Amino acid sequence: MAKSQDTTLWALVHAERAALAEDLALLSPEQWHQPSLCETWDVQHVLAHLSAAASTGQWAWISSMLGARFRPAVHNQRRLAKHLGVTPSETLENFRAVINSTVAPSSDTAAYLGEVVVHAQDIRRPLGLARTPSLAALTPVAEFYASRNFAVPSRSNAAGLQLRAEDGPFTAGAGALVTGPTLALVMVMAGRTAYLSELNGPGVGVLRERLEQKRS
């Protein structure tokens, strides 16, 4: 990846982290424990996971995965626990401290932008927070997800389908058509069934079946 493009993507990562911190500043204690779209994690757990992701370089990641015997769920839970505050306000402060971090296990910056974009919506959707990431942030994530399986099986989820954004330039693949907002396409490629209702086209049924099979 060209240095200028990488710099642009990191700037978008920082902007999306800052926007999420702003959204969470006035949550009630009950809202911090709202279940997220991310499996068994509540809002506070997802935010701690994002802090962990922004604090784990290549060698720390390798060491953690070795310690977890290459079980990603164990690795994620251990890293999350290190960044989970005693109180929600402490968890939020831990996240604010890494807003401008460029630490990551690899050079796949679009993937780490996707990490923030997807997990922010895992938090916002259940809370009813309406903020949508910018198209500048969403489009490179959509392109990356359509081209590679990295952390989430996004390419596999979209295989054999033509995806087309209605609100931006993103398009990828060939096959049964799926259209909708770029955000919904990103979230569904990341496995979030809650966004299927925002998509249209003959390929939506294929996506639904794939995601439901993985959840069962």
The pLDDT tens digits of the residues spanning 143-188 come to 999 999 998 999 999 999 999 999 999 999 999 999 999 999 999 9
Across 194-208, b (16+ Cβ under 10 Å) vs e yields ebbebbebebbebbe
| pLDDT, position 91 | 95
Q: How confident is the model at residue 83 (pLDDT cuts 50, 70, 90)?
A: confident
Encoded tokens for 143: 């392109």
CATH architecture of 3-127: Up-down Bundle (1.20)
19-28, long-range: CB within 8 Å, 24+ apart, which pairs?
Answer: 19/120, 19/131, 19/133, 20/47, 20/50, 20/95, 20/116, 20/120, 20/123, 20/124, 21/92, 21/95, 21/96, 21/99, 23/120, 23/123, 23/124, 23/129, 23/131, 24/92, 24/123, 25/92, 27/88, 27/127
Contacts of residue 146, Cβ cutoff 8 Å, sequence gap at least 6: 154, 155, 158, 163, 172, 173, 189
Percent of the chain at pLDDT exceeding 90:
75
Q: Report domain extents, the chain.
A: 3-127, 137-215
Distances (CA, A) of 5 to 1, 2, 116: 7, 5, 18
Encoded tokens for 41: 């994690």
User: Does residue 75 surpass a pLDDT of 70?
Assistant: no
Q: How confident is the model at residue 74 (pLDDT cuts 50, 70, 90)?
A: low
User: Does residue 109 surpass a pLDDT of 80?
Assistant: yes
Read off the pLDDT of each residue in 108-126 and give the average, rounded to a whole number. 97
- In contact, 192 and 122? CB cutoff 8 Å: yes
Distances (CA, A) of 48 to 64, 93, 206: 16, 10, 33
CATH architecture of 137-215: 2-Layer Sandwich (3.30)
Rounded to the nearest 5°, which phi and psi values hold at 166? Answer: -90, -15
